[in-house]
Structure 1
Amino acid sequence: MNITKEQIDDLNAVVKVAVTKDDYQDKVETILKDYRKQANIPGFRKGQVPMGLIKKQYGKAVLVDEVNKLLQDNLNKYLTEEKLDVLGNPLPKQQDNFDWDTEDFAFEFELGLAPNFEVPLKSKKAIVHYTIVADKKMVDEQVERIQKQYGKLVNKSEVGKKDEVIGVFKNEAEEIDNKTTIELDKVKSKKALESLLGKKVGDVVSLKTKGLFKEDYLLSSALGIDKEKAEKLNTDVDFTIEEINEREPAELNQDLFDKLFGKDNVKSEAELKAKIKEDSEKQFEQQSDQKLLNDITESFISTVKFDLPSGFLKKWIQMTGEKPLTEEEANEEYEKSEKGLRYQLIEGKIIKDNNIEIQFDELKEFAKGFIKSQMAQYGQLNPAEEELDNIAARVMSNQDEVKRLSEQLMSQKLLNLYKEKANLKTKEITYENFVKEVYG
């Protein structure tokens, strides 16, 4: 078998494969002999069917199958040995005069080659790296939420501004009949608040659905209807009051601190606020890092310029999907995927140039860290090392989980590289302002 490459340009090449009878004959003969041993053909004893009949019935199919296997194995070996960085897979060229009845064959495959380019990690324009802080307002609000969550309900005779009212929403025409709890501090409509204040158990209040709550998602839950219906609803509903409660805030004492953080880990209101600030900013760091990763990715895509073998890739998309695409459909798919392909090449180049690797032991430790954080969410703060090892072993036996964790660990390694070498400028910002600035 002889394989040669014809370079068309920097991004395209044709590989020619010459297959002779000597390359496949022995294998084909062996398979046909096995067929003869097993063949059941009327008029012949098993194993005694003439070889000529076997060749006539099975020879062409076996030949085609074996030649295709040879092509695949040797072409892949050639690409590896020649260190050809190809995009997609080799595409067989159409050969109108191809004849399987000859003894020697010539095949041609189109290759799309990855471009050569450099990725400067330090961009000319600095990229913002946000440091999100939990300000006093946020910490105080979180303390209030904790006090409310762990407080006790005190029954009242009439509705006040900060009360929780249990009742039933009804509207026969809209098929609404749902018992719920309304927190008055979440009611947006002034008219609705005026209607509710001072009311007693048994009173029925008519409320307009449009703009009832400060957060739109609360309406569907309160009325017991789906989100789509709630978004379009603009009608009056009757609310029958069944119970009125005031939530008395929990005291900021050692019992509450121990419930929240374990015994004696927090011993004062000042330590509570410091702990809330610390925990919040750890969570914000994940959002900040993700924003940085996204911004650096976009920066690379917009500044690192290189050509792609677009003609080859469009043809590859057209021919290799689940079903053949038209030229127009293939062009559309290429336009959708081009940005992602560009970043894959850029990321691969960064990983190669900076010798970034993932070792099994560090992936296992990464998995254990992920498992530990998951367990902490369910109150298991100090799992035994043996238990972590056992769970990690089960996780690492699942290839899908290994792939997912590997991608996360690689993202973390890239992020650490960018923090060290990219042109970044730090911007300290509150979470509220971060949301406004980043998400509008």
Structure 2
Amino acid sequence: MNISQEKIDNLNAVVKININPEDYQARVDKAIKDQAKKAKIPGFRPGMVPPSHIKRMYGKSILVDEINNLLSDTLNKYIDEEKLEVLGQPLPKIDEDKHYNWDFTDNFEFNYELGLAPDFKVDFSAADKIAQYVIKVDEETLAARIKNIRRSYGKMTNPDVSADDDVLYSDLAQLSPDGSVFEDGIAITASVRLDQVKDEAIKASLTGLKKGDVVTLDLQKAYDNDAAKIAGLLKIDEETAADLKSNFQLTVKNVNRLEESDLNQEFFDKLFGEGTVSNEEEFRAKITEEIEGMMAQDAERKLQEEIYNYTINKFQFTLPDEFLKRWLKASDEKMTTEDLEGGYNDFAQNLKWTLIGNKIIREQDIKIDYEDVFQTAKFRLDQQFRMYSPQALSDEQLGQYTVQYLQNKENANKIFEEVKALKIFAYIKSVVTLEPKEILYTDFQKL
């Protein structure tokens, strides 16, 4: 067997593999004998089928399989021994002029295109400056959060007349085009929350109502054609809700209002524990701290985005784009040329980040241990469980769930990649200069 490489340029190469009968004959003979032992053919006892019979019946297909296996083994071994950093997978070059008899005496020649990773240096330093946003709470966000908390601990009342943010407990009846109640139409008793009504004119028409009042309601306009909200209100499926054109008659049965809790010691103790907060100033400070703690996660995600974009722009190197496009199309036969052109830039950017990250991992000798993966998976599962249950799992239970979760190869790979990314970000943050920039939450959202 002979294998050689022709360098087209720094990013593309062709590997040529020549295979002679002596290279594959022993493999093929063994495969035929193994097949003979397992074959169940009428007229022969199990395990007693002559290899010559198997060769006559299935010889060519066995030869093809073994040649393919030999090619795969040979190519992978060559890439490994030559320490070639290959992008994608080798692509076979089809030569229409070559024809083989597949009669166990052919000399074969196969050519494979390789896309090679570019050579580049990763040289971060303190001279590299990246913005690190420190999010501060604005008055609007703080007021909204305080209002929600106070209402959560407030009490329900039934005022005579409706106002903003009230709930109208009402009978809803579907109307015919002429304005009369549709006899076989939708009729339901439901709670209409005024804080969910998007149209200001309709919202205004629903304020100032009292028990027994009747108004006509355009649900599509009220909820800005939000089929999910309309479906939830009327207890119908979203497809029906989306096609619904009728107005509805709303008859108020009751006005419900959730009053905000008083800012007193009982409320503070209930919220934070006895004696932790004793006045409104301390309460506002505590809520500010809580919100900014949650915002810190958003700030970290934004910092990672800034690092990603800075890194991609700092290290400008070329990829074997034409090869990669051919490989992507070969990997997905359903991919159209439009799909490829539309998505290739994002693919190339992510591939560049992967190459840079892998180089950092190698050069900085960054280790990713099982314990890192386990603890990250455990943390993610703990977050998920807390979303659905206020009662936290014991450390032992959480550990058992984590072991089960990581037994799934796809889950384990996903967490491994997350840990890898976190370590790459951590390294870059430790080397570059992070420039803190205070920003109000409302302005941060615009970014």
Q: Which of 139, 142, 147 matches 1:144? A: 147
Q: Which of 91, 103, 108 matches 2:111? A: 108
CA-to-partner distance for each residue in 1:284-306, whole Å, 9 max, x for gaps?
11211212222332233334222
| Runs (5+) with no aligned partner, structure 2 | 178-184
Task: Select between 290-299 and 257-266 the one with higher mean Cα deviation.
Answer: 257-266
Aligned to 1:28: 28
Aligned to 2:255: 244
Task: Select between 188-197 and 278-287 the one with higher mean Cα deviation.
Answer: 188-197
Question: Equivalent residues in 2 for 1:62-141 (5 A)?
Answer: 62-95=62-95, 96-99=97-100, 100-101=102-103, 102-121=105-124, 126-141=129-144
Aligned to 1:60: 60
Task: Select between 94-103 and 104-113 the one with higher mean Cα deviation.
Answer: 94-103
User: Equivalents in 1 of 2:227, 2:57: separation in Å?
Assistant: 69
C-alpha change, 1:281 and 1:328, in structure 2 (3 Å) is closer
Equivalent pair of 2:175/2:247 in contact (CA under 8 Å): no
Task: Select between 302-311 and 252-261 the one with higher mean Cα deviation.
Answer: 252-261
C-alpha change, 1:266 and 1:411, in structure 2 (3 Å) is farther
Q: Identity of aligned pairs, percent?
A: 37
Matched, 1:274 2:285: yes
Matched, 1:393 2:412: no
C-alpha change, 1:228 and 1:6, in structure 2 (3 Å) is same
Q: CA deviation at 1:46?
A: 6.8
User: Equivalents in 2 of 1:358, 1:347: separation in Å?
Assistant: 13
Provide the aligned C-alpha RMSD in A: 3.7
Number of residue pairs aligned between Structure 1 and Structure 2? 435
AA at the equivalent of 2:133: Y
Equivalent pair of 1:167/1:181 in contact (CA under 8 Å): yes
C-alpha change, 1:371 and 1:45, in structure 2 (3 Å) is closer
Q: Which of 302, 309, 317 matches 2:320? A: 309
Equivalent pair of 2:228/2:238 in contact (CA under 8 Å): no
User: Equivalents in 2 of 1:86, 1:198: separation in Å?
Assistant: 71
Q: CA deviation at 1:45?
A: 6.9
Matched, 1:19 2:19: yes
Equivalent pair of 1:6/1:14 in contact (CA under 8 Å): yes
Q: CA deviation at 1:255?
A: 5.2
Question: Equivalent residues in 2 for 1:4-403 (5 A)?
Answer: 4-37=4-37, 52-95=52-95, 96-99=97-100, 100-101=102-103, 102-121=105-124, 126-161=129-164, 163-173=166-176, 177-184=187-194, 191-192=201-202, 195-208=205-218, 212=222, 220=230, 222=233, 237-253=248-264, 256-257=267-268, 259-261=270-272, 269-322=280-333, 334=344, 337-377=347-387, 378-381=389-392, 383-403=393-413
User: Equivalents in 2 of 1:432, 1:304: separation in Å?
Assistant: 33
User: Equivalents in 1 of 2:237, 2:443: separation in Å?
Assistant: 32
Equivalent pair of 1:208/1:235 in contact (CA under 8 Å): yes
CA-to-partner distance for each residue in 1:142-185, whole Å, 9 max, x for gaps?
22211112211122333345643211333324855454334446
**What SS does the aligned partner of 2:156 have?**
strand
Aligned to 1:428: 438
User: Equivalents in 1 of 2:27, 2:263: separation in Å?
Assistant: 82
CA-to-partner distance for each residue in 1:108-137, whole Å, 9 max, x for gaps?
211111111224435977432211122454
User: Equivalents in 2 of 1:155, 1:47: separation in Å?
Assistant: 86
User: Equivalents in 2 of 1:167, 1:409: separation in Å?
Assistant: 52
User: Equivalents in 2 of 1:394, 1:281: separation in Å?
Assistant: 34
**What SS does the aligned partner of 2:8 have?**
strand
User: Equivalents in 2 of 1:82, 1:200: separation in Å?
Assistant: 83
**What SS does the aligned partner of 1:156 have?**
coil
Equivalent pair of 1:163/1:183 in contact (CA under 8 Å): yes
User: Equivalents in 2 of 1:80, 1:244: separation in Å?
Assistant: 74
Task: Select between 1-10 and 100-109 the one with higher mean Cα deviation.
Answer: 100-109
**What SS does the aligned partner of 2:443 have?**
helix
Q: CA deviation at 1:254?
A: 5.6
CA-to-partner distance for each residue in 1:390-434, whole Å, 9 max, x for gaps?
122112212222222223223322332333223432211121121
